[in-house]
Structure 1
Amino acid sequence: MDEGMVFVLIILFAFVLPIVLIGTWTSHKKEMAKVNANLNISEKENMQNELASVKTRLEVLEAIVTDKKYQLHQEITELKAVD
C-alpha cells in the first residue's frame, strides 16, 4: 500500500468510524428514551385506572359497613355467639 492509502485508512479509523459509532449510539439512546417515556405514560395510566378501581371498591365497602342492616346483622351474630 502506498502512503496515500494508509493516510486515508488512518483518517477513516481515527475520525470517521468513531463519529459514525457515536452517532449510532446517541440515536439508539434517543429511541430508548422515547420508548421509556411511552411506557411511563402507559404505566401511569394503568396506576390511575387501578387507583380509581380501588376507590370505587372502597366506597362500596364503606356503604356496606355503615349500612344499618349490616350493623344489625353483626349485633345479632354477636348475640348468637354469646349463647
Structure 2
Amino acid sequence: MEFVLVILFFFVAPIVIIGMWTSHKKDMAKMKMELGKSEKQNIDNEFAALKSRLEVLEAIVTDKKYQLNEEISQLNDKSAPLN
C-alpha cells in the first residue's frame, strides 16, 4: 500500500501538475492572441478616424476660400499701423 502511494506521489502527481501547467499556458496564449486581435481592431479603427479627419483638413486647406481668407488676413496684418 505504501509503495502505491509513493508511486502516485512521485510519478502521477508531477504528470498532473505538468498537465495543469501546460493547460494554463495554452489558455494564456489563447487569451493573449485574442487581445492582440482586439488591439489590432482598435488601431485600425483609430487609423480610419484619423484618415477621415485628415481628408477633411486637406479639403479645408485646399479650398480657394480658405486661401483667399489667408491672403486677406496677411494683407491686413501688413497694412496695420505699427505702434
Matched with 1:47 is 43
TM superposition shift of 1:8: 1.6
Q: Distance in 2 between matches of 1:14 and 1:81?
A: 89
Q: Distance in 1 between matches of 2:6 and 2:67?
A: 87
TM superposition shift of 1:54: 0.5
Identity percentage over the alignment?
A: 65
* Residues 1:77 and 2:69 are matched in the alignment: no
Matched with 2:55 is 59
Q: Distance in 2 between matches of 1:28 and 1:14?
A: 22
Runs of 5+ unmatched residues, structure 2 = none
* Residues 1:22 and 2:18 are matched in the alignment: yes
Runs of 5+ unmatched residues, structure 1 = none
TM superposition shift of 1:43: 0.7
TM-score w.r.t. length of structure 2: 0.89
Q: What do residues 20-71 of structure 1 show as CA deviations (whole Å, max 9, x unaligned)?
A: 0000000011111111111111111111111011100000000000001000
Q: Which moved more, 1:8-17 or 1:57-66?
A: 8-17
TM-score w.r.t. length of structure 1: 0.89
> Which portions of structure 1, spanning 4 or more consecutive aligned residues, are displaced by more than 6 angstroms?
none
* Cα RMSD after superposing both structures: 0.9
Q: Distance in 1 between matches of 2:18 and 2:73?
A: 74
